[in-house]
Structure formats: C-alpha cells, structure tokens
Structure 1
C-alpha cells in the first residue's frame, strides 16, 4: 500500500535504553482517518506513525481498513497504482476480501485472509495493489517494518506464508511473524519481531506471555478489549491501539464484548537507530530521501517497472518535498513498569 497523503510528515525515531521499573504501564494510541486516494477513496485508520509514538520495535506504519462493502455504491475498493518503497518491508494481512499484488521483481500474487504476504523493498522496489472483482467486503491491515541500516540496501524479495491456527482456551491465534503461544513463523526478519492475529471469545480472559525486551502494540479490529494488568485497567476500543513498553513478561487481556474480539499484536526489539520516514521511503538522511524521490520521478531502474497493471496511472507521482530539511522526531521506547 502507498501512503497517498499529499503532504506526508517526515519521521525520525531515536533509540533509548530501558530502565528497571515496576508496575505495568499502557499508552492508548488513537487512530486518524486517512483517505486512500481521491474524494471517492476508501478510508483507512492510521495508528502508526503518530506524534506520540513513531515506532514499535521495527514496526513503523499501521493502516487498518474496513469492513468496507466495495460491491455497491461509490467506493471503488483498493486500486493503488505503481508506487515505490525503500528501506522497509510491507506486511499485508486480510480479514476478508482479496487483493492482487504485482511488483518489479516479477511477483504476481494474491493477498487472501489468513495468509501473509511480505515484500522486502530494500534498495528499491515498486508495486501495485488492487482489490479483485470477486471482493465484496474489503477488510484488513497494511503494516510496514523499517529495515535496520545494515539491511536497508538489501535486494528486493517477497515471501508468502500461511500460519496454522493455534487454539488455546478462549483464543485462536495466527502467528505470521515471530513466535507466540508456541507457534513460530517460518518467515525470516531482519530484526526481532512479532506479528499475530488473535480472535478472543466473547467474555474470555487470556494471558500473552511476551518477550520483555520487546515493545508491543495491540490493535483492536473488533470487539472491546480491557488490559487487566495495567496500572489501572484500560479499555481499548475498535481502531485504537494499546502500547506496552519494554519489560512486560505477560499481558492480561479480557474481551468485554458479547461478540468475539479480533486483535493484531505487534512487537519487536527497539530498532536502536534513527530513521527518517517520508511518503513511502525509510532512510537515514535527508539526502537519501531526496535522491530516492528524484530517482523515482526519473523512472530510474533502481525501482524497475511493474508489468500487468491495467489502471490509468502507471507511475504514481511523489509528493512535493517540504521546503526545509527533513527533521528528526524523537521516539523513546517506553517502559512497561512504573518506578
């Protein structure tokens, strides 16, 4: 997915060390609505990045969309023309619908519910995403992972993985990256990460045993969530994300709704590096971002050409850069324990 904002905000995230503390703290992140394209566009709920939290481990971008009926009315579904990425990986995960993916590495693949599609941009890639004619309801998340500096220039790549559902009392989990509930994804990542979909039964309480060197984010897609072992129990509504910093070994959750709750759990070790994120690019310097934009607009072979896309726009123009240098934004990993 492309970030189609006409004036994207640059982000720089700064590492810091965790401190020994006691007591579980939770930060509530509310989403903002972003139209994916023009006036008839589908709206997505964006929880990352934002002013109070730019990164969760290596996770640097989280869009949550649907359920949107794209079979009738004025909403055309998803149709994102060829657009570029550098320095990141895209993680596509659907709850319903189907999306056709094409990229400049020659990959033509379908994104389907419960199946991970992970694209590595590395030094440069372009791709398209189009919901298929068979799709009636489009619903899912689009996530990005910032690559560490030593992997930012890696080759383009693509991985597809179908996690086996794991059943525990009160919950069904699909672990698409990392490890949870004894289930481990076979997909390699460039930094330690966790990504999983959880469906929690109505009224059920569960405990996530998590890695204390990870930060975690829990995005609510459906139902209503309560973080029971927070300093003060915290309710998290649909489209909101609960952030838990370093030091948590267990996160206790209750679905307070009378219907199943669906959650996306993200985690990872703090990236430990400063990054700048602007439009669809992740880099380390202003000059790196400027060069990538110029090469994309010049149709450089750095990004290649997407073949088979039938839309009218064959090369999505990049937004205009701000008139000043792209600036850093502090991103301090939180601590899950009170002093």
Structure 2
C-alpha cells in the first residue's frame, strides 16, 4: 500500500529561516511531476527583523515554483517586472521555462506578528515546455474551489481531483490540494493519477492501523485505495500526477539534459539571466563560486526519475 515514508529533513533558506525538506529524497526523487517540496515554519511570532528572512534574487530554469502560505505574507519580484504580494490561501505560480530570476521579501512586520508558515513546491516541466518563455500568475482565494464534507475541508490548489477543477495553468496532468481534517474524519486519495502522496503539515493520521505524524510524507502504491483516518485536527497537502521521466537537478535548475544545467550555471555567472528590475541591487551567487575558497564541494547535478 505504501511505497515509502519520507521523513522531512532539516534545511535552511538562509540564516534566519529553517525549513523541513521533503523532496527530493534519495530513495524517491519525484512524485508525479513534483520534484521539490519545502515546508517553512511555523515561525510564531517572527522576532527577527523581517529583512533577515528575505530570499535574495536567484535563478530558475525548467520548472514551475508554486508558493502557498498558511500564515504571513511574502512579496515576490521577478525579472519579468512582476511585483506580487502573496497572502494565505493564494497561489503564486511562476514558470521559469528557459530562465527567470526572482526574490521573496518579507517587508511588512505587521503581517508577520501572527507568524509565518509556507509550503513551496517545484513542478518539473515536460521536455516540450522546458525552453518556454517564463510566466507568472497569482491566483486569489476566490479562484480556488473549496469542498466540504463531514469533518473534511479541502481547497484545490492546482490540477484536478475529486471532481474539482480550477483555472490554474499547469503543463502536465497533476493534482495539488490543501486538506484539513477533524478528529475521526475518514478520507481517501483521489483516483485517476498514477503517482500520489500526502504530506502531513500538522496533526496525525492512521493508515492500515499505523499512525503517521507531522513532517512525514506518505507515497502510495499505484492503484491502492487507502482509508485515511484523522487522529486529531490535521492538515495535509496532497500531490501527485503523471511522471515525466528522468530529470537532473542542481541548485535551482532542473532539466532533462545535464548540459542544459551547465549552460544555466554559466548564464547566471555571466548575467544573462536578468535580475528583477525592481530588486537588482543584490543576488545569490552561484554555489560553486561561494565554495571556491573552502574545502567544501558544491552540489552536483543529480538524475531524478
């Protein structure tokens, strides 16, 4: 019934923001087209200066970044000239395609008083879309359908599941949902998708007599129909879809071709990926440049499949 249980590992966006990293995992690199998942927070209250949380301009290729907040507020700026505040329950969907740079800033202390909690995923692009022009879209709460049943609340972030659809533009078949369960609620996975998983944001669930808790991702065997029982108030992220085939990942770059990642590295070093025009005074250098003066080694491209 379960292919694997993935335990979130400790990672960091910067010195001030620790995250739980779920994907990629060495024994199970992807779930459908999803190749990356971080859970930031909850940080409550945020006592550091908001600017210490900032993620400086950095590049991406070959993927879509998907940002979803439970609490707080983030300002997105990118090299298309977009400046967009994302609030809880909204979706920022940025498709990097052939290359984009963006920053994530925390500029309003008042909206962080109640804390910060955020999920970011990366969705790999099909080969035909890897070199597409970059795009950005923000989807507000009223654009994302909600379904409720006894003890169950869910919001469709993207794709299709349980008969729900929305206008979030995707490039391959997938599903992505935010689900809240009351204690004792019984719940099943959506049908019609080859690969399916859930991540426990908070609370705990029981599957086949075994209890699983916050910080765990359960990846399910194709075709099974598990019964999920909430042991307490529980928040889940459900995700999956159709696999895309082998992918390489290095830093913020994803591609079906290793040589394309090498090109992206050189493009960033040479300034060929433009910085956001309204946030171009600083940026994150290529990791291998940061490692030149130390004995540590930068990350290497890894095949994901």
What is the TM-score with the length of structure 1 in the denominator? 0.81
Contact 1:210 1:251 in 2 (8 A): no
For the residues of structure 1 that align with 2:132 and 2:96, how far apart are their CA atoms?
A: 8
Distance 2:267 2:285 in 1: 12
CA-to-aligned-CA distance 1:41-80 (integer Å, 9 cap, x gap):
2110001001111100000000011110253257866301
- The 3-state SS of whatever aligns with 2:112 is coil
Contact 2:57 2:276 in 1 (8 A): yes
Aligned residues: 292
Q: Is the 8 A contact 1:95 1:114 kept in 2?
A: yes
Question: Per the alignment, do residues 292 and 53 of structure 1 end up closer, same or farther by CA in structure 2, a change over 3 Å counting?
Answer: same
Alignment correspondent of 1:45:
20
Distance in 2 of aligned mates of 1:58 and 1:325: 21
Match of 1:175 in 2: 156
Structure 1 runs of 4+ with >4 Å offset: 73-77, 321-325
Cα separation, partners in 2 of 1:184 and 1:34, compared to 1, 3 Å? same
Q: Per the alignment, do residues 115 and 74 of structure 1 end up closer, same or farther by CA in structure 2, a change over 3 Å counting?
A: closer
What residue number does 2:11 align with?
A: 34
Query: Which of the two has greater helix per residue?
Result: 2
Cα distance, 1:106 vs structure 2: 1.3
Deviation, structure 1 residue 316: 1.0
Q: CA deviation at 1:148?
A: 1.1
| Stretches of structure 2 lacking an aligned partner (at least 5 in a row) | 290-296
Contact 2:248–2:303 (8 Å) recurs in 1? yes
Match of 1:296 among 254, 262, 268: 268
CA deviation digits over 1:296-339, x for unaligned, max 9?
01111xx22212238xx61210111868974535x4xxxxxxxx
> Structure 1's 217 and 296: CA in aligned 2 closer, same or farther, altered over 3 A?
same
Q: Which residue of 1 aligns with 2:64?
A: 89
Change (3 A) 1:254 1:75: farther
Q: 287, 290, 293: which is aligned to 1:319?
A: 287
Give 1:117's aligned residue.
92
Instruction: Between the two structures, name the one with larger relative contact order (CA 8 Å, sep ≥ 6).
Output: 1
2:2 — aligned with what? Answer: 25
* Cα RMSD (Å): 2.1
> Which of 105, 112, 121 pairs up with 1:135?
112
Aligned partners of 2:56 and 2:282 also within 8 Å:
yes
CA distance in 2, matches of 1:57, 1:29: 15
Q: Which runs of 5+ in 1 are unaligned?
A: 1-23, 332-339
Contact 2:36 / 2:122 at 8 angstroms: preserved in 1? yes
**Within-5 A mapping of 1:233-272:** 233-248=209-224, 250-257=225-232, 260-271=233-244
